[in-house]
Amino acid sequence: MLRQISRDVRVNLKDRLRDVRDIIRQSRHDSDSDANLVREATSHLPPFPGKGIEGLLGHAASAVDEALSIAESFVPHDRPTKIDGTTVKGLGIYFPAGNEERRSSAERVFRRDMYYLTRTVLAALKIDNARIHEADFAAVHAAMQKRHAGLLAAIPARPGPAALPAVAAACAALLVECLNHRPVRFVEAEPDAIGDRALDIACLAPVVLACGLATTASDGAPEPDMLETAVLAAGIRHDRIVKACAKASPVDELTPVFATLLAHLP
């Protein structure tokens, strides 16, 4: 119990520190943030008395950011050396059967991979106003094991073509849990209404689809361009996925969508 609490505290602290780092970077004097754009647009106006102070704060933020970057370079990080399709692992690796220690190790790999994969998808979609929280991915992992253990257990150790429906159902449940826990938070705009998750789906569906593709990979070795393929495929089926998520039984509605994608993608 104490180890679980300690892990939760570490993950939440990491998320908070990342949020602070994002704020510092947005406050740099050389940042291309909206605040700098506003200053450029109002440069013809009489100088504001606090403008000098604002500039000093911007330079201070730059100095802090650079100091943190230097300190970060000396600290070992548990991160993939390269983030692409080969980073993705199958559902059997993320949700293994076994003892608590094995499941805890898988949870750590899951939330780490999901963080970096989602960040890569956000970059591909040119979305730079979002923050990703590992703690929410940890909650997704726990929810999958608690609520969808049967779906995960239905996936054989070496999934073949006959296992596509089981893999698709697990992917559908994974996307629903991601939407429930919202590991991606958008800084400037929130969804307009409850149930309007189009932007969340655009960011998370490719990662979930990539997990499904890694699970069904015939040789067990995902291709480097698999994540890019998942981004394109999820984008093509975006409207259908959004409609399925809005239904009363989203897992049931999403399963055939993922089954079709998994059957036709390499």
DSSP label at 43?
T
Average pLDDT, the chain: 80
pLDDT of residue 37: 42
In degrees and rounded to multiples of 5, residue 79 shows phi and psi of -140, 155
Residue 78 located in a structural domain: no
Asked whether residue 80 is domain-assigned, the answer is no
How far is the C-alpha of 16 from the C-alpha of 178, rounded, in Å?
A: 20
Residue 155 pLDDT more than 50?
A: yes
Both tokens of 89, joined, read: 């692992």
In this model, does residue 206 exceed pLDDT 70?
A: yes
pLDDT (tens digit per residue) in 61-71? 455 555 545 54
Decide if pLDDT at 99 tops 70. yes
Token digits of residue 1: 């119990």
Q: How many domains does the chain have?
A: 2
Question: For the chain, what's the residue count?
Answer: 266
Which of the residue ranges 54-58, 146-150, 152-156, 247-251 would you say has the lowest mean pLDDT?
54-58
Mean pLDDT lowest among 70-84, 138-152, 173-187, 197-211 = 70-84
Q: What is the mean pLDDT of residues 232-239?
A: 97
Residue 246: inside a domain: yes
Residues 32 and 147 in one domain: no
Dihedral angle of Cα 222, 7, 140, 179, to the nearest 10 degrees: -100
pLDDT band at 107 (very low <50, low <70, confident <90, very high): very high
Which one of 19, 40, 73 terminates a domain? 73
**Residue 138 burial (C-beta neighbours within 10 Å; 0-12, 13-18, 19+):** buried
Per-residue confidence (pLDDT) for residue 224, from 0 to 100: 85
Q: Does one domain contain both 9 and 118?
A: no
**Is the CB of residue 155 less than 8 Å from the CB of residue 92?**
yes
**236/152 same-domain check:** yes
pLDDT exceeds 90 at position 21:
no
Judgement on whether residues 233 and 115 belong to the same structural domain of the protein: yes
Instruction: Kindly report the pTM of this predicted structure.
Output: 0.76
Say what the pLDDT of residue 91 is: 96
pLDDT band at 83 (very low <50, low <70, confident <90, very high): confident
Position 171 scores a pLDDT of 98
Phi and psi angles of residue 130, each rounded to the nearest 5 degrees, phi first: -125, 150
Of 102-106, 125-129, 187-191, 259-263, the poorest mean pLDDT is in 187-191
- Do 57 and 97 sit in the same domain of this protein? no
Average pLDDT of 150-159?
A: 92
59 or 176, greater pLDDT: 176
d(CA 71, CA 150): 45
- 133 and 51 in one domain? no
One domain for residues 90 and 6:
no
Is 240 in the same domain as 108?
A: yes
Q: Which residue has the tokens 């309007």?
A: 196
126 with 165, same domain: the answer is: yes
9 & 60 share domain: yes
Q: What contacts 98, CB < 8 A, 6 or more positions away?
A: none
100-114, 146-160, 170-184, 216-230 — most confident range: 170-184
